[in-house]
Structure 1
Amino acid sequence: MKKILIITSYFPPETGAASNRIFHLATGLENQNFKVSVITPLPNYPKGRVFDDYRGKFKQTSTEKNVTIHRLWLYASNSKNKLLRLFTMISYSISLIWFFIWNKIPETVIVQSPPLLVAFTCMLCLQRKKRKLVLNVSDLWPIAGLELGAFKKNFSYKMLEKIERFNYKKADLVLGQSQEILVHVKSLFPEKATFLYRNYPDFELPELKEPSISGDKITIVYAGLLGIAQGIYKLCESLDYSNIEFHIYGGGAEKEKIVQFISENPDLPIVYHGEVTRSELHNALLCYDITIIPLLNRIYGSVPSKIFEYAKLGLPMLYFGGGEGEDIIQQHQLGWIAEAGNYSHLNKTIQSLGKNKLSLKNRTKIQQAALENFDFNKQLLKLKAVL
């Protein structure tokens, strides 16, 4: 049985697309007769502090669904202070180096990037002629950070670019969640082996039904990280509420601002539901007419994994983020597009919707498109062939 190690900064019980993606990859490979182990920090995301059940521990090893999981210490923080966030990554990198020294590492290792520094630590320490290093790139850093306004083109940015290029250079295979990521990698290293690995979810398709929230107003739902990149606070401020209700699930940096905005505007039909488990969320989402997938700014290389998850749920989408995600929505007829950053166009698009366009028949078509085009196991078999 071939052994494979996955190194990631996010893993359940943490919530969100990143942890779900790596969890499905790990259990999927295990089902394909790999002996899978995972290295991840003690759970801390997105709250920025180690979860209560893991506090006071330096390391924990457990087996879940036949996958061995090594949880390592880090200094947890989600502070906006760049030095504190850098120290968080350095602390995890130190724990990784310590683990590498005292443990035997398999010949095939999948390394999640970003964070760039963590990936750099792995690529630097684990390079060997007989070892295959696979870099799983979910976002293009530091480019994405520049587009989000987190970075400026200075000395630090140039250093991050050098780290990025080092990581690509040392990888034997680069997995990218979007074609834009693979195009970028090929522009730097034309001969580099690449593989398009979309963030397809792995769960049973639910039985579809008409949305259970009645009334003339269209019910719009957002579920996920309430971070700066998603711009949900700006969305709350900018939506035209004349014919909609807006429902929000999740947590993150903007949570308190959103909750405060709702309390200061009690006449607006906005409901914050807090954080729920993934299974609870799936059941809840089926009750709404349409979901919105926003990005505050178009981010090159980014394709929200929500697209594939919501398609399996048969949930119509309103995409407001630009880039490759637009192409996927349009190609597979999964919903509607609003011009990224143009809130006037977003409101006009919403006004053009009617309950007849959000019918059970339309949901069934969306789910069928997901069944035909976003199959996790088919993609996994193709990946298995190149590992």
Structure 2
Amino acid sequence: MNAGARQPQDRSILLVTHHFAPETGAPQRRWGALIEHLVTVGFPVTVLAPPPHYPSGKITHSSPSYLPGSVQTGTNGEKIIRVNFREHSHGLGSRAADQTVAAISSVLYGIRPSAGRPAVVIATVPGIPSVVAGWALARWHRARFVVEMRDAWPDLIQPSGILLRRDRPGGLRRRLRDLAARVVHRTVTRLQTRADLVVTTTAAFAEVLRARGVRNVAVVRNGTAFEPVRENAPVRLAGRPLRVVYAGTVGRSQGLDVAVRAAALVQERGHALDVRIVGHGNELEPLRQLATELGAPVRVEPSVPSTQVRELYAWADTVVVSLRDWEPFEWTVPSKLYEVMASGVLASASLAGEAANLVTINGAGAVVRPGDVEGLADLWCGWLSDGVVPAASADAAAWVAEHASDGVLGHRYAELLDALLPSPVPDAPLDRRARV
């Protein structure tokens, strides 16, 4: 074969990520589904990831195959090289230290022969230091560099206030943290502009990056394989309480205190409802305390396996999808929304921007402004007064099947990666006149 022809290793991918199976969560699920497709169509994948330690900060699986330095084969045929990490608490500084240790270790393991010589290096956020590690490895291997921005990081740093809490206004610590936020933002933006491709999960954030001078941006949405749990038909309450569910990450970003306060307000107005918040995250206990203080009809429960999420949705009359009223969330579509749209259950959406538009245009549910306790309470009271919860449109599940199913997204990613790589050079025909 001609020396210029593409060899199988010419399509190899090195993925730098801070979150990977057997952990559970949106980033882990996304790359499990993408790798399954990419390996099938001829992209060998090697993953650099720390041992499973999300969300506790401590190793969650004791097998030696998960220890730093171990190499194993994943369920989809990918090679997984475990890198070093640092046990962390829920504090920002502790988590940032863990991500930095993992990023440095990823570079050290990524230049070893066991990582191969990739054609493409993909660095995925969350885990902002992973972007720096991915850039360094792409330079080392002279590979194409892809930055994947799952959320609007680092734009979320400032509105979230995660760098400023417990600091005295105008104090040295606050000024230093503000400086750190600007440095991180500038660094990530510069690496985005130097990448061969930046992948976002929403069209809105893609436009924001293009306006900043990022030259090659593509959208590969978060996906789902969720199947409908009911027909698209109104739910008759027949005098029973309204059943409301939230299932997923319970953190500051979700702003679920709004749902708790709305539930208390609905009860004060003389209506009966049963709200269940099921998941994991730093806000579980604060929400439980808030529900107790308000006497709200809210149960706060630990996370359940994905198979039981279907049971929760089948029980519910409506599913909450919620984000805080922060500007970068107008460029964000939570992966949970696609799951709810596919389920056939009506969404109670406390969203803005692109996510809110998806709900409205596809008839997936009712939208209230993020943070609007009165608006959410009015919505639920209206359904209780009518005695019926409207049906979600079948258009919602159809949209997900066309734009956010795992198979569609895997095919899209493969197309983008192929476009980055040199076209294979066919074998040159033998010249019969050539002389040896």
Give yes or no for TM over 0.5.
yes
Distance 2:104 2:405 in 1: 37
> Is 2:70 aligned against 1:60?
yes
Aligned AA for 1:113? V
Whether the aligned pair in 1 keeps the contact of 2:206 and 2:219 (CA below 8 Å) is yes
Residue aligning to 1:284 = 312
Alpha-carbon distance in 2 for matches of 1:288, 1:142:
35
Of residues 196, 199, 211 in structure 2, which corresponds to 1:172?
Answer: 196
Q: Does the C-alpha gap of structure 1 residues 355 and 223 become closer, same or farther in structure 2, counting only changes over 3 Å?
A: farther
Q: Is the 8 A contact 2:279 2:302 kept in 1?
A: yes
Q: Give the 3 Å change call, closer, same or farther, for CA 139–207 of structure 1 in structure 2.
A: closer
Deviates more, 1:147-156 or 1:208-217: 208-217
State the match for 2:137 in structure 1: 125
**What is the match of residue 230 of structure 2?**
208
Residue of structure 1 equivalent to 2:430: none
Could you say which residue in structure 2 is the equivalent of 1:347?
377
Equivalent in the alignment of 1:296: 324
Which residue of the partner structure matches residue 368 of structure 2? 338
CA distance in 2, matches of 1:202, 1:47: 26
Instruction: Indicate the RMSD between aligned Cα atoms, in angstroms.
Output: 2.6
Cα shift readout 1:89-148 (whole Å, capped 9, x = no counterpart): 221112112202323241112210232222112213322684111111112222111111
1:372-387 paired onto structure 2 within 5 Å? 372-387=402-417
Q: What is the CA distance between 1:33 and its match in structure 2?
A: 2.6
Task: Give the total of aligned pairs.
Answer: 381
1:226 paired to 2:236:
no
TM-score normalised by the chain length of structure 2: 0.80
Aligned to 1:141: 153
CA separation in 2, counterparts of 1:97 and 1:4? 15
Residue identity in the other structure for 1:366? A
Structure 1, unaligned stretches of length 5 or more? none
The code of the aligned residue for 1:23 comes to G
Comparing 172-181 and 51-60, the one that deviates more: 51-60
Match of 1:76 in 2: 87
CA 1:358–1:37 in 2, change beyond 3 Å: closer, same or farther? farther
Contact 2:19 2:27 in 1 (8 A): yes
Q: 1:194 aligns with which of 204, 212, 217?
A: 217
Distance 1:11 1:255, change over 3 A: same
Counterparts of 1:382 and 1:132 in 2: how far apart (Å)?
A: 17
Equivalent residues of 1:42, 1:59 under 8 A apart: no
Match of 2:170 in 1: none
Offset of residue 175 of structure 1: 0.5
Q: Structure 1 pair 289/186, CA: closer, same or farther in 2 (3 Å)?
A: same
Contact 1:317 1:334 in 2 (8 A): yes
Identify if the C-alpha distance between structure 1 residues 377 and 97 changes in structure 2 by more than 3 Å, giving closer, same or farther.
same
CA distance in 1, matches of 2:62, 2:285: 25
Quote the Cα distance in structure 1 between the aligned partners of 2:403 and 2:138: 35
Please report the TM-score for the alignment, with normalisation by the length of structure 1. 0.89
Residue 67 of structure 2 aligns to a residue in which SS?
Answer: coil
Q: Would the alpha carbon gap of residues 200 and 119 (structure 1) be closer, same or farther in structure 2, given more than 3 Å must change? A: same
Structure 1's 127 and 315: CA in aligned 2 closer, same or farther, altered over 3 A? Answer: farther
Structure 1 residue aligned with 2:187, among 163, 170, 176?
163
Distance 2:372 2:163 in 1: 24
Helix, strand or coil: the match of 1:189? Answer: coil
Matched to 2:388, the amino acid is: N
Match for residue 101 of structure 1? 111
2:51 alignment partner in structure 1: 42
- Tell me, in whole angstroms, the C-alpha distance in 1 between the residues paired with 2:317 and 2:24: 24
Pairwise mapping of residues 264-283 of structure 1 onto structure 2 (< 5 A)?
A: 268-283=296-311
Alignment match, 1:87? 97
Equivalent residue, structure 1, for 2:167:
none
**CA gap 1:31/1:286 in 2 versus in 1, 3 angstroms:** farther
CA contact (8 A) 2:229 2:344 kept: no
Higher-Rg structure is 2
Gap regions ≥5 residues in structure 2: 1-7, 165-174, 418-436
